[in-house]
């Protein structure tokens, strides 16, 4: 995985981001979800790097990147703070304008990048997600049952205590057979590190506080994503079943939306990297 790419730890000001980067062509930033690190993109990066200069960081609070300061409103774990990290990182790597794709929690950072920095983001791909406020406004008993972790993680201390008591049991859905050995060991190291567990949970706390507020403000002010947006979702995940057609929902937030399903479970970069890379290549090829 990451054939020919460089592994760096780059100081962006508030801390260091672990980042894998390399390839040839227009810059493409790939942002991971929970509880993954940049290593989730390994197979996809190998397929894309002949065509793009691929940049895969660990987001702040995740993996081996820095842990932000704690505050009562979790603002240092906000998607706005993480988006600014990405802008600094890309500039330090020499990329002034770039495409960005995010999966799961990483899609919210990608979304915030496109909203806050329209002059920098050429195209946006969001994978297995809709905006946070759209989730909350469609909430029903099925969402509360199946996505209860959103609200459990919003509590103080108890989520970390539960996860750290037995990380392997909490994350029992990890499918090691779908992952490169190095990626699997990197994921295990992350979920067994209490500091990283706290950082990952803080990402959810920010989601229900400052991130939600930012999205509500965007909507009230009529702000939309102005670059082309690609919405991808996994057929064997439950996003569409619980919330409806994700592409139709994203049309409320962007001026140009396309999208389709991919045959996969939730962790599509590991479960179906070929189809995911093909979709991303097609979408970003004329950046």
Question: For 20-37, what is each residue's pLDDT tens digit?
Answer: 999 999 999 999 999 999
Residues 6+ apart with CB under 8 A from 20: 2, 5, 6, 7, 8, 38, 41, 45, 54, 55, 56, 57
Q: Which two tokens stand for residue 226?
A: 């102005």
Question: For 214-245, what is each residue's pLDDT tens digit?
Answer: 999 999 999 999 999 999 999 999 999 999 99
- Token look-up 């592409």 returns 247
Q: Going from the N-terminus, what domains does the chain have, and what CATH number goes with each? A: 6-284 (3.40.50.1820)
Note the pLDDT of residue 79: 98
Question: What is the C-alpha separation between 217 and 222, in angstroms, rounded?
Answer: 8
Note the pLDDT of residue 287: 64
Q: What is the 3-state secondary structure (H, E, C) of 72-108?
A: CCCHHHCHHHHHHHHHHHHHHCCCCCEEEEEECHHHH
Note the pLDDT of residue 176: 81
Of 32, 76, 135, 266, the catalytic one is 266
% of residues, the chain, pLDDT over 90: 95
Enumerate the β-bridge partners of residue 257: 229
Mean pLDDT for 142-171 is: 95
Considering the chain, what is the average pLDDT of its residues?
Answer: 96
pLDDT of 266 above 80:
yes
Note the pLDDT of residue 187: 96
Q: Is the peptide bond before 265 cis (omega within 30 degrees of 0)?
A: no
Mean pLDDT for 280-285 is: 97
Q: Which two tokens stand for residue 156?
A: 């103080």
Mean pLDDT for 200-223 is: 97
Q: Which two tokens stand for residue 281?
A: 């290549």
Of 104, 203, 211, 214, the catalytic one is 104
Residue whose C-alpha is closest to residue 102's, from 4, 204, 230: 230
Higher pLDDT: 176 or 75? It is 75
H or E, element range at 163: helix 158-165
pTM of the model: 0.97
Q: How confident is the model at residue 286 (pLDDT cuts 50, 70, 90)?
A: confident
Mean pLDDT for 55-66 is: 98
Question: What is the C-alpha separation between 256 and 227, in angstroms, rounded?
Answer: 7
What distances in angstroms separate CA 251 from CA 196, 226, 247, one per listed residue? 34, 11, 6
Q: What is the 3-state secondary structure (H, E, C) of 197-257?
A: HHHHHHHHHHHHHHHHHHHHHHHHCCCCECCCEEEEEECCCCHHHHHCCHHHHHCCCECCE
Q: How confident is the model at residue 178 (pLDDT cuts 50, 70, 90)?
A: confident
Mean pLDDT for 63-78 is: 96
Is 104 a residue of the active site? yes
Question: What is the C-alpha separation between 28 and 48, in angstroms, rounded?
Answer: 9
Radius of gyration of the chain (CA): 17
Question: For 80-132, what is each residue's pLDDT tens digit?
Answer: 999 999 999 999 999 999 999 999 999 999 999 999 999 999 999 999 999 99
Note the pLDDT of residue 173: 82
Question: DSSP 3-state assignment of 183?
Answer: helix
């Amino acid at each position: 995985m990451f054939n020919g790419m460089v592994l760096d730890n780059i100081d962006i000001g508030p801390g260091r981001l672990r980042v894998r980067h390399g390839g040839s062509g227009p810059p493409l930033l790939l942002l991971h979800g929970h509880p993954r690190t940049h290593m989730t993109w390994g197979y996809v990066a190998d397929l894309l790097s002949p065509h793009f200069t691929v940049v895969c960081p660990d987001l702040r609070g995740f993996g081996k990147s820095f842990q932000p300061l704690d505050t009562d409103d979790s603002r240092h774990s906000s998607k706005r703070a993480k988006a600014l990290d990405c802008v600094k990182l890309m500039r330090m790597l020499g990329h002034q304008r770039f495409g960005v794709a995010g999966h799961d929690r990483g899609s919210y950072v990608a979304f915030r990048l496109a909203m806050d920095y329209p002059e920098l983001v050429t195209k946006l791909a969001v994978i297995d997600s809709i905006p946070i406020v759209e989730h909350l406004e469609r909430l029903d008993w099925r969402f509360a049952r199946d996505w209860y972790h959103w609200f459990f993680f919003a509590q103080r201390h108890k989520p970390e205590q539960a996860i750290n008591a037995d990380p392997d049991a909490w994350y029992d859905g990890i499918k090691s057979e779908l992952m490169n050995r190095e990626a699997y060991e990197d994921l295990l190291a992350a979920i067994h590190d209490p500091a990283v567990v706290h950082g990952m949970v803080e990402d959810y706390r920010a989601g229900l506080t400052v991130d939600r507020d930012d999205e509500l403000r965007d909507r009230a002010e009529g702000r939309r994503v102005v670059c082309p947006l690609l919405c991808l979702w996994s057929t064997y995940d439950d996003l569409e079943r619980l919330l409806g057609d994700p592409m139709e929902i994203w049309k409320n937030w962007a001026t140009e939306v396309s999208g389709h399903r991919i045959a996969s479970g939730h962790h599509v970069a590991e479960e179906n990297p070929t189809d995911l890379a093909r979709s991303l290549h097609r979408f970003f090829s004329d950046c």
